[in-house]
A and B are shown apart, each in its own frame.
Chain A
Amino acid sequence: MAKMHTPAMEKIERKNAKRKKPRQITPSYEAWKRFRRNPTALVGLIIVAVLILIAIFAPLIAPYNYQSQDYAAMMQKPSAAHLFGTDQFGRDIFSRCIYGARYSLLIAVFCTLAALFSGGLLGIIAGYFGGKVDTIIMRIMDIFQAIPMIMMAMCIVAVLGNGIPQLVAAIMFASMPTMARNNRAAILRVRGNDYIESSEAIGCSKFQLIMKHMIPNAAGIMVIFFVGFLAVSIMMMSSMSYIGVGLAAPTPEWGLILNDGKSYLTSAPYMMFFPALMIMITCFAFNLMGDGLRDAFDPKMN
């Protein structure tokens, strides 16, 4: 056949020529390739990386101790000495925000891991075993879901008291039904695929089936939940801290810093501007990343 040469073909040929050697194409490599091509997702990834670096090197970056009070410099506007200004106790807000990255990110990761393990496990059990087990677990989750997430979390904090472990427990319990539901859906989706049936047919054990076939295939979706839930837990945590339930006072969590500045909204808005900005940037980055991951792992959805 006499080949037609079109500009599009030449472009692809040039691209193929540039490629050094064909890489082994695995699903996760494909996903990474799609992720890399998505500029918004990359921006999200970079911001998240920067935030993690800030959290790790907080003592090196922060110019002041986040707790030290300086009564000579109270309520100062942002300046060279105090980039984000100081609060009513003369604490440097910049330093508090920097340390806040440590606390907020760490708590968010703990919350998400806890939620994924508890809710995820329930979801996987319900989705895999199906039948009665599924019905019982999901009915119980329905009941939990009839209570709004944040109300549940606040009630639990009211029982357990303020503090980081209590907050993690509260967010974990509150998000369990959603997590269980999502993970169950992910497992059901994978379970419905023919290859699961065919591996059952060739005599895979249940354990092998879950570990080798279902988890790897559902992993993509679970990573998406993980990143998405990081943003949700940061938002929930800061909302709770802001209305005064959740964490105890000196912790430099962003929501708490906002709570400190609450009374000075009109006179010193900068006290709330910067921590709010940090929350927004962080959640935005996680959401951008999560969205990119969704597109990358699930190209059909776009």
Chain B
Amino acid sequence: MGERILDIKDLVIHYETDEEVVEAVNKINLSLEKGEILGLVGETGAGKTTTALGIMRLLPPKVGHVIQGNIFFEGKDLMECSEKDMRSIRGKKISMIFQDPMTALNPVKTVGDQIAEVVELHDNCSKAEALKRAQEMLAMVGIVPERYKEYPHQFSGGMKQRIVIAIALACEPDLLIADEPTTALDVTIQAQILDMMRKLQKEKGTSMILITHDLGVVAEMCDHCAVMYAGEIVEYGTTEQVFDNPKHPYTKALYQSIPSLDKEVERLHVIPGMVCDPSNLPSGCSFCERCTEKRAACAEHDPWIVNVEAGHYAKCFQYTPEWEADKDE
């Protein structure tokens, strides 16, 4: 398809404190094409948000470190950019929608000012023009433009999320990172927000990374899907490939844990065990302890990423020739 807009190569991110080092993201590779929506799925703590913050270069200062890797955005390595260049990219080229709309807006500024702020910063226009643009944006996300003079506390949660989206889209970014945009909202509002985001994405042709732990959202919205576990991407493919033909044991287990309407089941399937401690990762496969298909070698060696079918990858020994050979013994 089209050209690549984002290319993450061997990205490693650690959180370092006096007490421990948390290996939040471990050598992930990911790429995104123009106009594509990529779903990033995984449990809490899998490193999804860290990856997003890494792309924005907004990791918590002094604690979060990019240890190695490159992030190419439109051919330019973001890791090499100066802070000043980064500032001109944030909000303009890449923007981000944060998890919790309740706290993402400054309580002492009017919503109009907050939307206008990003326009003013990047579009080189007067305050009045920026405010006009802010009102247009409010109308676009379905809020009466006259309410631009109001403060965040006067809006409901769903409306605040619309405002956050308006801020993110105000400068028509090339890449939008949405970090669990609907998690904090009611189910009915979730659908509205997702519909709106998809509509806006189609109109502007924006590329998007959608971070979520809701598989339904991914199935509905995304072209591609990457499953993250313990800071690694364990499976990647088109949404159809990953959903209809999951390869990695973790992905399979994930599907089994979703309640199904068709089948009568007494108890939901639970993935046994706990997510491994990211400050003390095992030397073998990180999913090995919870895996139902594991073998002795899994605990010793870390599997590599295997191309299981065209455009479909999984990080598991099962799909290597050695696995079959091992079985024969």
- Direct A–B touching, Cβ under 8 Å: yes
Task: With A1-B286, A12-B19 as known contacts, state yes or no: A6 contacts B67, CB within 8 Å.
Answer: yes
B:221-276 near A, CB below 8 Å: 230, 232
CB distance from B51 to the nearest CB of A (A): 16
Q: 1/0 per residue A1-41: CB within 8 Å of B?
A: 11110101100100000000000000000000000000000
Q: Check B188 for interface membership: any CB of A closer than 8 A.
A: no
Whether A3 pairs with B67 at a CB distance below 8 angstroms is no
> In the complex, which residue of chain A has the Cβ closest to the Cβ of B304?
A2
Closest 4 CB pairs of A and B: A8-B16, A9-B21, A1-B302, A1-B281
A contacts, CB < 8 Å to B:
1-4, 6, 8-9, 12
CB neighbours (8 Å) of B281 from chain A are 1, 3
Whether A4 pairs with B67 at a CB distance below 8 angstroms is yes
Q: Check B283 for interface membership: any CB of A closer than 8 A.
A: yes
Number of chain B residues close to chain A: CB under 8 A: 22
The complex places the Cα of A276 from the Cα of B12 at a distance, in Å, of: 58
| Among B12, B16, B27, B285, residue most surrounded by chain A Cβ atoms (within 10 Å) | B16
CB distance from B104 to the nearest CB of A (A): 21
12 A/B residue pairs, CB under 8 Å, sorted by A: A1-B23, A1-B26, A1-B230, A1-B283, A1-B284, A1-B285, A1-B302, A2-B283, A6-B14, A8-B16, A12-B18, A12-B19
Total residue contacts A-B, CB cutoff 8 A: 39
The complex places the Cα of A230 from the Cα of B283 at a distance, in Å, of: 54
CB neighbours (8 Å) of A9 from chain B are 14, 16, 21
Q: Check B205 for interface membership: any CB of A closer than 8 A.
A: no
Task: With A1-B283, A2-B302, A4-B67 as known contacts, state yes or no: A12 contacts B23, CB within 8 Å.
Answer: no
Q: 1/0 per residue B282-325: CB within 8 Å of A?
A: 11111000000000000000100000000000000000000000
B contacts, CB < 8 Å to A:
12, 14, 16, 18-21, 23, 26-27, 65, 67-68, 230, 232, 281-286, 302
CB neighbours (8 Å) of B230 from chain A are 1
Whether A4 pairs with B232 at a CB distance below 8 angstroms is no
Whether B12 pairs with A4 at a CB distance below 8 angstroms is yes
Whether A4 pairs with B16 at a CB distance below 8 angstroms is no
The complex places the Cα of A9 from the Cα of B285 at a distance, in Å, of: 21
Whether B14 pairs with A1 at a CB distance below 8 angstroms is no
Task: With A6-B14, A6-B16, A6-B67 as known contacts, state yes or no: A1 contacts B21, CB within 8 Å.
Answer: no
CB distance from A13 to the nearest CB of B (A): 9
CB distance from B76 to the nearest CB of A (A): 25
Apart from A4-B12, A6-B16, 17 more pairs, CB < 8 Å = A1-B26, A1-B283, A1-B284, A1-B286, A1-B302, A2-B27, A3-B23, A3-B281, A4-B23, A4-B68, A6-B14, A6-B65, A6-B67, A8-B16, A8-B21, A9-B14, A9-B16
> In the complex, which residue of chain B has the Cβ closest to the Cβ of A9?
B21
> In the complex, which residue of chain A has the Cβ closest to the Cβ of B21?
A9
CB distance from A208 to the nearest CB of B (A): 33
CB distance from B85 to the nearest CB of A (A): 26
> In the complex, which residue of chain A has the Cβ closest to the Cβ of B284?
A1
The complex places the Cα of A46 from the Cα of B286 at a distance, in Å, of: 49
CB neighbours (8 Å) of A6 from chain B are 14, 16, 21, 65, 67
